[in-house]
Structure 1
């Protein structure tokens, strides 16, 4: 899942799938051969070494958590070309299968176009899928029919079944909306591939993608549906930031009529909540996906989108730290609650090139903390699970973040970041790790779209605010002293000097406060109005101060 620096990379096969089981069964053998002392021998001894290692590894593979010896030698998927065949729907509707969709083949089936229906497609299962009870073709037939009765309000963001397909009475797949011109969220998270797909996108567009993904999951949860396996290969994004989820037949649902529960039995390890990480087999009854487990996976995706594709649970070790401090073991860190952006322990640090967590507004950081702040002891506690930020809360917060003003870096105009940052966080990340991918390039806002982008060159405005505050106090005391003395004859002639010193200090403090709050005051009124208010209020504050000093002088 991650390179040496903790950046998200192509994911492993989903846990619980037959493809994952075959690959995982091979992985221990490769590791053992790699670290075997016999590897130092010449290539002529390779055959003997291989036989010797295979004998040892046959015992080692028996202790795999999820695998069994039978399933580790399963053959490749048995496919059948359905192009040109006519399939029947649940109501007798006939569908003629067209050509296979390019890139539409996965571990469970293949996607075809439907002739005469340009907006629909058919997902046809491989011949060797869903052939053994309890999850056989009859089971999937019941589940797909239950999905037809659900009608989720987020149907526009889902490749939701429209009809079930049969060939001579045997269920072979289902009809769904055809997904066009969309890209996997994995390619959207990665800066290098994103620049090729959407060269005009900015950081704000990634906020929009995160917001739309949150909205999609919030609508699912409102309808009692749990996505379960939020695999990056099943989340698609278009050029407008719209999000669509595919492979919805793996969702965790309940039939609204019969109340039969159809659990999700697959998952992506790097995205699973800790209570699911502890389950050895996602097909077991102990594996219970929920809206809260979806919220955990959602928070990881939002972190990847906002933090330049850095995983919240990937880290590096401080030099000299013991090897048991976590390193890049993202799955183990999820179990232990070791999010280095919130809690650094055991010599772990964020990966090089990762932007500072302070890049994000405080409100967003608090939402991440609600989800990722737990320990190994409390990871699966009810309190920690209930505290996770919901998809609806994320949607509200990200919608507000999308409307917030941005700053543009003076050194690199392609760097945009939230306005509360006084320095460019992308430049700081590049300085920490020069080979790290830069922030997204700038975009040209379409006509009619109002978007505030604040220049980073604000030091003249800040200096003006500070000087205006101090000058207002210094100018007010001498000119108003005569009028004040007429009101309070007991005051000493040395009063102007007494008032000028604290007045100037208070004026400078007020000006500094306005300068520090410039990014926030910019939202409600311009800087020049704030500076003018400081100058106008200075004489009134001098009068107030003189009123307090007059009795003491008398």
Structure 2
């Protein structure tokens, strides 16, 4: 492509339909997305991004005649007045990036009334779209929360679909947390073709990050880097007595605790070395995960999930799930229901005890470091916020 396009320019499709570019909706490393005088929007590449490889992949996608609401695949190629390939028309995507929902304040601001069933329903609708693409022989490759936009729990959009792996054309991009262990040491994403087994690892990571909202399966306290943990398949969330004792501190332990047992088992067997679903050939498919989430949604909608503990219906539980047969009392410090057998000798819960110990350690450390008065005030505020 010899020239940069701008609002007001007139392009044409391969069928000579005229398309007038409107205002810019968004810009990225590859190019820009424009409004048009059609029901679709136009993705127009920067001149250096209009490679023959990209054109061939888009032509392959078009030949497949795919159509699925929310998957923003190319509808028609676009050319300039010199008949040079510049981009394509696609469905307009709406909503917020899935990654934004990983941050509690942003999720609460955008969807203030959402409960756990809404996240589960969202996961189901994401899986339906992934399953559709897999059924057509397409591998997404770059599954990550920046490429999925969420409008409602039922209405989601997949963007950057021109990167998908199709007809022997690899997906040239990806990110480490969603890359399968067997691919972690390969050179570049463009140097090989992914298998459906590779992809199923990324699908499981995406679902885990939704169910344990905002957390990745191989994050842990101490230990290796995230990439090292993936390669070693060192999963830090327990299944019964099986645990590496490295579960990150904070709310993640509570979110994991409130998941149904069969779902925790599926994640554990997928992410743990030697697990039943841990290899390229044995990982659960999008369809199999879809069935599991459908069952989860049924438990939530019928109230069965809440029979044992109503907090299991919330996105952000503030304690571990109640166990059948246990006696619960309120902790005098945090006010949470706590298994009576888990109270420390002072009568407060273990979580408060942990926070008190941490606060004590921080105070000891601070007392050894000369600080200005304003810094001491900040430190006191920090210590006090541990209990609010």
TM over 0.5: yes
Q: Are 1:252 and 1:263, in contact at CA under 8 Å, matched by a contact in 2?
A: yes
Structure 1 Cα separation of the partners of residues 195 and 71 of structure 2: 18
- 1:283 corresponds in structure 2 to 190
RMSD (CA atoms): 3.1
For residue 107 of structure 1, the aligned residue among 16, 23, 29 is: 29
- 1:122 corresponds in structure 2 to 42
- 1:273 corresponds in structure 2 to 180
Cα displacement (A) at 1:415: 6.6
Q: Deviations over 1:26-70 (max 9, x none)?
A: xxxxxxxxxxxxxxxxxxxxxxxxxxxxxxxxxxxxxxxxxxxxx
- 2:120 corresponds in structure 1 to 207
Structure 1 Cα separation of the partners of residues 54 and 99 of structure 2: 28
TM-score when normalising by structure 1: 0.53
1:173 equivalenced with 2:97 (yes/no): no
Structure 1 Cα separation of the partners of residues 311 and 175 of structure 2: 40
Q: Are 2:311 and 2:321, in contact at CA under 8 Å, matched by a contact in 1?
A: no
Cα displacement (A) at 1:190: 2.0
- 2:362 corresponds in structure 1 to none
Cα displacement (A) at 1:369: 2.7
Task: Tell me the secondary structure at the aligned position of residue 233 of structure 1.
Answer: coil
Any gaps of 5 or more consecutive residues in structure 2? Answer: 329-335, 339-348, 356-388
- 1:401 corresponds in structure 2 to 296
TM-score when normalising by structure 2: 0.75
List aligned pairs for 1:505-524, cutoff 5 A.
none
For residue 337 of structure 1, the aligned residue among 233, 236, 240 is: 233
Task: Tell me the secondary structure at the aligned position of residue 289 of structure 2.
Answer: helix
List aligned pairs for 1:140-539, cutoff 5 A.
140-152=54-66, 155-167=68-80, 168-180=82-94, 182-254=95-167, 261-284=168-191, 287-317=192-222, 325-326=223-224, 329-342=225-238, 344-345=243-244, 348-356=246-254, 357-374=256-273, 384-404=279-299, 405=303, 406-407=305-306, 421-422=321-322, 431=351
Structure 1 Cα separation of the partners of residues 237 and 297 of structure 2: 22
Cα displacement (A) at 1:353: 2.8
Q: Using a 3 Å threshold, how does the CA distance of structure 1 residues 314 and 88 change in structure 2: closer, same or farther?
A: same
Q: Are 2:100 and 2:107, in contact at CA under 8 Å, matched by a contact in 1?
A: yes
- 1:457 corresponds in structure 2 to none
Q: Are 1:276 and 1:288, in contact at CA under 8 Å, matched by a contact in 2?
A: no
Q: Are 1:157 and 1:244, in contact at CA under 8 Å, matched by a contact in 2?
A: yes
Cα displacement (A) at 1:183: 0.8
Task: Tell me the secondary structure at the aligned position of residue 207 of structure 1.
Answer: helix
Any gaps of 5 or more consecutive residues in structure 1? Answer: 1-77, 131-135, 255-260, 318-324, 435-554
1:90 equivalenced with 2:14 (yes/no): yes
Cα displacement (A) at 1:386: 1.4
Structure 2 Cα separation of the partners of residues 236 and 291 of structure 1: 23
Q: Are 2:72 and 2:92, in contact at CA under 8 Å, matched by a contact in 1?
A: yes
- 2:385 corresponds in structure 1 to none
Task: Tell me the secondary structure at the aligned position of residue 355 of structure 1.
Answer: helix
Task: Tell me the secondary structure at the aligned position of residue 235 of structure 2.
Answer: coil
